[in-house]
Amino acid sequence: MNFKMKTLSTAVVVVGSGSAGISAAFELYQQKIPFILLERGDKVGGAGKFGAHGVFAVNSKQQQAQCVKYGYAEAFKGLTDYNHYFVNGELLARFLKLSGANIDRMTAMGLPVTVEQSEQKAHLNDPLVYHKFNNFKEKMANWDQLPAKFIAEGNQVLTETAAVDLDYSDGLKAVIVADQSGTKTRIETSKVIFADGGYCGDPDMMKAKYADADEFLNLGERKAEGTGIKLAKKLGADTTHTPVLFAHGCAPSLQINPMRRDSSVETLTNLPLLWLDKTANRFVNEDAVYDFAMWANAAHNVQGKYYVLLDQKTLDHFKTHEVPLEDTFERQFCEVGQTPRTTVGPLPNIQTDFDAAIQTGEVVKADSLADLATKLNLSLAALQRSVQSYNQAVDQHEDDVFLKPSDELLFGVTDGPVYAIVEHCAILGTLDGVNVNRNCEPVTTAGAPIKDLYVVGNNVNGLYSDGYPSYEGIANGFAFVSGWIAAQEAVKSLKQAKVEA
Ligand SMILES: Cc1cc2nc3c(=O)[nH]c(=O)nc-3n(C[C@H](O)[C@H](O)[C@H](O)COP(=O)(O)OP(=O)(O)OC[C@H]3O[C@@H](n4cnc5c(N)ncnc54)[C@H](O)[C@@H]3O)c2cc1C
């Protein structure tokens, strides 16, 4: 019997059809270089298609038309400084310099974006850098139309097909792929671009890097299992880097989508009430709720979980009153032209919602602080001290420890029953993986590129020191641009090889 693997051949294999992969494939399509685009899922598109709202860019034509003063120099200096110089300067520079032109390119791809003000209250006065998808449904539909274009030019798009290995000795020979049934195919090729989206879908990698991984509400692309990172590492690529979590927002459950907002419990977690960590201490100015990345980083910093504390009086107040606090997700869901609400409530269903959440364990109800300390296994002394000190700040309209704005110091915790909402750090993926050079080629610890391989998007080290910065759209912007860079470099190298042959 002949067990020989089926064989295909092409010039370039692109692994993953999310932002970085679709962008790489589009460049190859435009340059008429034959390729095979692989996608583990049954449809094209990863987090970039199903999740991301936009991309970061500087010096786009739209920004120029609006006389935006923030350009390459400000972004380069800002990001380098923000990350304490733990950045890959050449890669960062190349990304930023191409980011503006990428906006026009996205229009050519059928994925137009428009520069708009931030959706986050903490960033309303930031420079205009966020280019948002005009219409989410259209984005998804247009993404789905790209494979047909690629195929019409003789390329292949293989869904339900995952890259699993490489045949590599002194250069790339083939990418080994497996379909849903495990049947393997050998794709003989000269170049591979790993655009498989990081590793948030690999529980072992997550646990190895993040001690609090079990506390995360993982909203990232779970089909991203670290394939490219692992295979590049096997070939000697340097993967040394501080783990970078794409922490973004928090939610009162490991199941709930924090942006769904269908329960008053969620609404209250999206406000700057009193937050305590697992040691019953306050740990941050709760105003951080208005900056998604910083909010989630603060939660990650206290092992991925914290409690939102309120008493029955406060709950009853929300039931019948409009409260002058803005829901942090309000602006994300405003229709164009709609004025965002800067208040919440009344919340007539709040008691029912809380009672339901008590049943699922998302909320813990206690008769008193002593009872709560017992139920949550907290130090009563620490709990009493934290609550007392917070109540004092509310009474005095001044928080001289964490410096929360006085207009957010609204609700002390005085009489039982008391409620603790169990809040978890939400994540949208991972942002560390392989060290690469300015061409997105993986490099060894000696800095030598591993030829014929390119690593892009969420798989790459070098843009962030230790956490996601508050530069909206930067992960997705980098994914599109890095896919573009890798494809350009692959084409250049193929053409060079042809000349030399
Ligand atoms: C809900 C959500 C909202 C987000 N919002 C924003 C935002 O507003 N702004 C922003 O900058 N970023 C945002 N992001 C992050 C952004 O989407 C990612 O940074 C970006 O999509 C990364 O691109 P990528 O190509 O590396 O990965 P992805 O877009 O996730 O694509 C990876 C693809 O590779 C496929 N794949 C994985 N392994 C294999 C394999 N072995 N073989 C074949 N295929 C494979 C996956 O199925 C997936 O389709 C968001 C993410 C999520 C989850």
CA distance 38 to 196: 9
Q: Are 245 and 430 in contact (CB under 8 A)?
A: yes
CA 223 to ligand 1: nearest atom: 47
Question: In CATH, what class is 6-46+140-244+431-500?
Answer: alpha beta
pLDDT of residue 332: 82
Q: pLDDT tens, 115-164?
A: 999 889 999 999 999 999 988 899 999 999 999 999 999 999 999 999 99
CA distance 247 to 500: 47
Q: pLDDT tens, 96-116?
A: 999 999 999 999 999 999 999
Distances (CA, A) of 22 to 4, 120, 151: 31, 28, 13
Best mutation site among 55, 332, 458, 484 for ligand 1 pocket (most ligand atoms within 8 Å of CB): 458
Q: Are 342 and 326 in contact (CB under 8 A)?
A: yes
pLDDT of residue 255: 73
The yes-or-no verdict on residue 325 having pLDDT over 50 is yes
Closest residue CA from atom 31 of ligand 1: 18
Question: Is 247-426 a domain of CATH 3.20.20.210?
Answer: no
Of 192-196, 207-211, 337-341, 470-474, least confident by mean pLDDT is 337-341
Average pLDDT, the chain: 95
Using pLDDT thresholds of 50, 70 and 90, give the confidence band for residue 260: low
pLDDT of residue 3: 60
CA 459 to ligand 1: nearest atom: 26
Q: What separation in Å is there between the alpha carbon of 150 and the centre of ligand 1?
A: 20
The yes-or-no verdict on residue 430 having pLDDT over 90 is yes
CATH 3.50.50.60, the chain: domain bounds:
6-46+140-244+431-500
Share of the chain above pLDDT 70, in %: 98
Taking the CB of residue 120, how many other CB atoms lie within 10 A of it?
Answer: 21
Q: What separation in Å is there between the alpha carbon of 159 and the centre of ligand 1?
A: 16
Alpha helix positions (H), 111-226 = 136-152, 203-209
Q: What separation in Å is there between the alpha carbon of 220 and the centre of ligand 1?
A: 7
Mean pLDDT to the nearest integer, 238-257: 89
CA 177 to ligand 1: nearest atom: 42
Is any ligand 1 atom within 6 A of the Cβ of residue 205? no
CA distance 272 to 264: 14
Closest residue CA from atom 24 of ligand 1: 197
Is any ligand 1 atom within 6 A of the Cβ of residue 304? no
The yes-or-no verdict on residue 396 having pLDDT over 90 is yes
The yes-or-no verdict on residue 336 having pLDDT over 70 is no
Closest residue CA from atom 14 of ligand 1: 52
Q: Are 211 and 442 in contact (CB under 8 A)?
A: no
Best mutation site among 166, 256, 428 for ligand 1 pocket (most ligand atoms within 8 Å of CB): 428
Is any ligand 1 atom within 6 A of the Cβ of residue 277? no
CATH 3.90.700.10, the chain: domain bounds:
247-426
